[in-house]
Amino acid sequence: MRKLILLSFLAAFLLVAPSAFAATKTVSITNSAFVPNAVTIEEGDSITWTNSDSRNRQPISQDAAFASPILKPGETYTFRFTKDGKYTVTDALVRNQRGTVTVTKPAPLGSPSLDASKQTLIFGGSLALTGKVPTSSAGEKVTLRAEVLTPAGTRQASAVSEVSTSIDGTFRFTHTPTAQTTYTAVWQSTPATTQTSAPVTVTVAPRIGLGVVRKLSGRRVVFSTKATSATSYAGRSVYIQRRTSFGQWITLKRVIVSSNTLATQTTVRLPKGLSRIRVLMPKAQAGIGYVAGVSRTLLLVR
């Protein structure tokens, strides 16, 4: 009889276990925005939206195929995300407010964790990748694997580093990606068994340089600019932009880059007064494996 009761308990646990560990995160719908406006959860987790505004609101998502009932102030709506992906959430009653929900696949049970210190970095920069093995013991062998997106659109994978865990089972890698890279940590759990972490993808922006060569008469300025990454940008375009008093960036001039190593010079006439100047390389010009690149912002008075 006791054996029968135990088997029934185990069967019930297995039925509820997948949902028992699901998490719920909250998002406030305020007068001005979704707070936070970007949320990351795992498959099976839920988001609860709370109407923190003084008027009715209605969060909807075409990507996730849901629409809440109209929420009066103080009311909530919860939706469970069952598939990984990136979902846009808007408000059916208020224009120009949106948020994103990124749903990741959970790491397999018993695998190491892995987190990156940065999600996007500028070419030439490095990041830390940290994690922990389930045994929480020292001397465990962990290998960092990197899968790089090449200019041809293919993925090139390799083992880039190997470390041993600290006394609490934690580990740390430092790496400098040359283009968009997906990392995994591989743990040698037994001599014949390995466990792999959930993947972590880091994007890379080209390094965009901007400098003033000299100032000319008639409010003209000679700028120098350069774009650098692991791919050649000779013949690609960048855009010299000025920020308006309304906070918008407008293009003053399109510049063709001469090479990755030599700066390209160009002359731009600025309006009278203070100008905030930057250089933008759009993603289409940055190429496969890179996101858009932006230089520092210069303040000039002419």
CB atoms near residue 204 (< 10 Å): 26
pTM: 0.66
- Do 210 and 278 have their domain in common? yes
Q: Summarize pLDDT for 91-111 with one digit per residue, the tens.
A: 999 988 999 999 988 766 689
Percent of the chain with pLDDT over 90: 80
The Cα 267–Cα 219 span in angstroms is 10
pLDDT(263) > 50? yes
The Cα 154–Cα 203 span in angstroms is 15
- Do 196 and 247 have their domain in common? no
Per-residue pLDDT band at 260 (split at 50, 70, 90): confident
- Do 210 and 200 have their domain in common? no
- Do 100 and 166 have their domain in common? no
- Do 85 and 8 have their domain in common? yes
The predicted pLDDT at position 302 comes to: 87
Beta strand 24-29 pairing with 46-51? parallel
Contact 302, 272 (CB under 8 A): yes
- Do 179 and 260 have their domain in common? no
Enter the tokens of residue 94: 């208020």
DSSP assignment of 166-199: -TTSEEEEEE--SS-EEEEEEEEEETTEEEEPPP
- Do 231 and 290 have their domain in common? yes
Question: Considering only CA atoms, which of 246, 299, 253 is closest in space to residue 280?
Answer: 253
Q: In the chain, how long is the greatest CA-to-CA distance?
A: 98
Residue 245 lies in a domain: yes
Q: Is 295 exposed, middle or buried (0-12, 13-18, 19+ CB in 10 A)?
A: buried
The predicted pLDDT at position 296 comes to: 96
Residue 192 lies in a domain: yes
The total number of structural domains in the chain stands at 3
The predicted pLDDT at position 17 comes to: 41
Mean pLDDT, range 285-299, rounded to an integer? 96
Q: Summarize pLDDT for 25-47 with one digit per residue, the tens.
A: 999 999 999 999 999 998 999 99
The predicted pLDDT at position 136 comes to: 83
Question: Considering only CA atoms, which of 71, 176, 73, 46 is closest in space to residue 123?
Answer: 176
Q: Summarize pLDDT for 150-208 with one digit per residue, the tens.
A: 999 999 999 999 999 999 999 999 999 999 999 999 998 877 788 999 999 999 999 99
Contact 223, 242 (CB under 8 A): no
The Cα 146–Cα 96 span in angstroms is 38
Residue 134 lies in a domain: yes
Q: Which residue has the tokens 């009653």?
A: 93
The Cα 81–Cα 20 span in angstroms is 15
Distance between first and last Cα of the chain: 91
pLDDT(6) > 80? no
Which H or E run contains 22? none
Structural domain range at position 186: 115-204
Q: Is 296 exposed, middle or buried (0-12, 13-18, 19+ CB in 10 A)?
A: exposed
Q: Summarize pLDDT for 116-145 with one digit per residue, the tens.
A: 999 999 999 999 999 999 988 899 999 999
Q: Summarize pLDDT for 39-68 with one digit per residue, the tens.
A: 999 899 999 999 999 999 999 999 999 999
The predicted pLDDT at position 108 comes to: 65
pLDDT(7) > 60? no
CATH of the domain at 263: 2.20.130.20
The Cα 98–Cα 34 span in angstroms is 7
- Do 60 and 21 have their domain in common? yes
Q: Which of 169, 204, 239 is the last residue of a domain?
A: 204
Residue 109 lies in a domain: no
Q: Which of 204, 224, 249 is the last residue of a domain?
A: 204
CATH of the domain at 130: 2.60.40.10
Enter the tokens of residue 157: 């994978």
Enter the tokens of residue 107: 């790491």
Q: Which residue has the tokens 């997906």?
A: 182
Per-residue pLDDT band at 18 (split at 50, 70, 90): very low
- Do 189 and 122 have their domain in common? yes
- Amino acid identity of residue 126, one-letter, is S
Per-residue pLDDT band at 261 (split at 50, 70, 90): confident
Mean pLDDT, range 8-30, rounded to an integer? 61
